[in-house]
A and B are shown apart, each in its own frame.
Chain A
């Protein structure tokens, strides 16, 4: 199947008082139509910035973004507005991403009004009602305000808003992280159903390994603005090659009683990617690091078909050819 979105060497730097912050550094990936790319990493790894840069909420520093075979790296205001119809976003925090002064119906109607999708008031009302049904919001909430609702329902509003324009691509930035597990599962199921029904393509950003495995077709692991590993979501849970990916997955607490597993804890904490040198960004925390790692930034290489790893020592560590 054709790639819906293709990103090549995308960079996003922020100027800060302490220097240039490399939030996203030379990231490339593509997502096929109707598939989900899971982007995982810890806070500060640039995954949210990546998502926002792809849909032009942040202006990129350099790189290319292709959408449905068209180069959309540089667009003007009108092109951007047209593009936004096809690319939407679901936000992390359903408590802060909804305007507290608008009612549920107003919130959902907003994108339809902006794009003048409905000729009459009645048509608008019908569309809003239908969207509410689609995401499982009861009609009695039509005139409620977001502060009257719980997190799950608010996130349903967020999803309805994102769906209103019938987009092709949705960036989901930690859409279930703020929710309780039982509600989280409801929302994940809803998102999967919608994906099947509307042939949606998701870029699903999260720090939750269990969720990402459940929903993704491909997974990209990021560390300090760079991609460290990219492969099929099944593959990564059986064969993970990058030392960071290993540590990350080992650290996930699993809700089963077993003999306490031996964990390879990594020391130290994530630093901030301000003025990074020409070295592997994980080197300072990596148990396998040597001079080579501090001498140059490793490029991603295809270790086996469809499985990319950016590590100088990937072959030695994993006994690969």
Chain B
């Protein structure tokens, strides 16, 4: 039997598992791999901040405020003389956690709504999309402010507030993508075979409607990390003294003329993260499409 299997697989060409195929295509894309490497590094920072920097990010050194890079604080210190490097490393955990969690929630809800609306159309589409319109009409920041103001500012409320603002975008992108796929002949063919609506949505529509959703994930992630800073700016962001890149950025805003480095380092951190996720997202989108050459 074992030998038999070997023979059939020799005839059939290696059974390429979906995952390995995707990996192979992804690995060919150098910029995407670069993005992935950066993301992995960021994740390591986020998981082991205590090991990679000072375990206590609250140590103040008021004599050394706004210090430039030195051997002791190699990215300098902030307005309370806290070590910038430590705070950026710890901030990585907060920013990534809020960003990923909020995008994950928004994506799950938005894609579900968008798929149902796009696939079934009709009244359901109308009702769901009007709800989405209402969500879209409220500015994200305002929505965030009112939710955090009402429920208090903890990290989980923050995640929920930011996610809520993103649902509309996911729903819209998914819906329009689903509508184009819904009318393709292979979906009709699936229906003619007798496939149920659920199966068609899951196996036919979604995989082929994925590309714009992935792009939306990466742009939303970037936007959300910046959104936190917006909330922090009005004092509703991550409660102090938890370090978070957005709030570091907004804290430094008032003194950026005198101490530009205060804004540069968190800025670079945010930019690098956003950039890495964008590269990774684009690469993933291409890798998931088997039509592209291996």
Contacts and interface: CB of A to CB of B under 8 A. Distances in A.
Is A–B contact present in the complex under a CB 8 A cutoff?
Answer: yes
Interface string B163-205: 0000000000000000000001110111111111001000110
A92 B192 CA distance: 14
A91 B188 CA distance: 9
A89 B192 contact: yes
Contact of B193 (A80, A93, A110): A110
A92 B208 CA distance: 21
Contact of B12 (A88, A92, A98, A143): A143
Nearest to B204: A99
A139 B10 CA distance: 10
Listed residue (B14, B185, B188, B191) with the most chain A CB atoms within 10 angstroms of its CB: B185
B257 interface: no
A114 interface: yes
B208 A145 contact: no
A145 B191 CA distance: 21
Interface in A78-95: 80-81, 84-85, 88-89, 91-93
Interface in A128-182: 139-145, 147, 158, 161, 165
A103 B12 CA distance: 12
B185 A145 contact: no
B194 A115 contact: yes
Interface in B1-48: 8, 11-16
Contacts of A144: 13
Interface residues of A, number: 34
Contacts of B290: 100-101, 145, 147
Contacts of A141: 12-13
A161 B289 CA distance: 23
A57 B191 contact: yes
Contact of A100 (B8, B194, B196, B208): B208
Listed residue (B16, B190, B191) with the most chain A CB atoms within 10 angstroms of its CB: B190
B239 interface: no
Contacts of B203: 99, 102
Given A84-B193, A111-B193, A111-B194, A99 B186 contact: yes
A141 to B, nearest CB: 8
A111 B261 CA distance: 62
Contacts of A147: 290-291
A97 interface: yes
B12 A114 contact: no
Given A145-B290, A145-B291, A88 B208 contact: no
Contacts of A140: 11-13
B207 interface: yes
Given A99-B186, A114-B193, A139 B11 contact: yes
Counting contact residues on chain B (CB < 8 A from A), the size range is 20 to 34
Given A139-B11, A145-B291, A99 B190 contact: yes
B189 A98 contact: yes
A37 interface: no
A142 B13 contact: yes
A96 interface: yes
A224 interface: no
Nearest to B16: A143
B194 A85 contact: yes
A32 B8 CA distance: 41
Contact of B189 (A115, A142, A161): A161
A93 B13 contact: no
Contacts of B194: 80-81, 84-85, 111, 114-115, 165
A55 interface: yes
Contact of A89 (B8, B189, B289): B189
A110 B199 CA distance: 10
A176 to B, nearest CB: 16
Nearest to B187: A99
B195 A57 contact: no
A81 B193 CA distance: 9
A140 B13 CA distance: 6
A100 B185 CA distance: 11
B177 to A, nearest CB: 14
22 contacts: A57-B191, A81-B194, A89-B192, A92-B185, A93-B185, A96-B186, A97-B185, A97-B186, A97-B189, A98-B189, A99-B186, A99-B190, A99-B203, A101-B207, A101-B289, A111-B193, A139-B11, A141-B12, A142-B11, A142-B12, A143-B14, A144-B13
Given A96-B185, A97-B188, A100-B289, 18 more contacts: A55-B192, A57-B192, A81-B194, A85-B194, A93-B185, A96-B184, A98-B186, A100-B291, A101-B289, A101-B290, A114-B195, A114-B196, A139-B11, A143-B12, A143-B13, A143-B14, A161-B193, A165-B194
- Sorted nearest first, the 5 A-B pairs with minimum C-beta distance are A142-B12, A84-B194, A97-B185, A89-B192, A96-B185
Interface of B: 8, 11-16, 184-186, 188-196, 199, 203-204, 207-208, 289-291
Interface of A: 55, 57, 80-81, 84-85, 88-89, 91-93, 96-103, 110-111, 114-115, 139-145, 147, 158, 161, 165
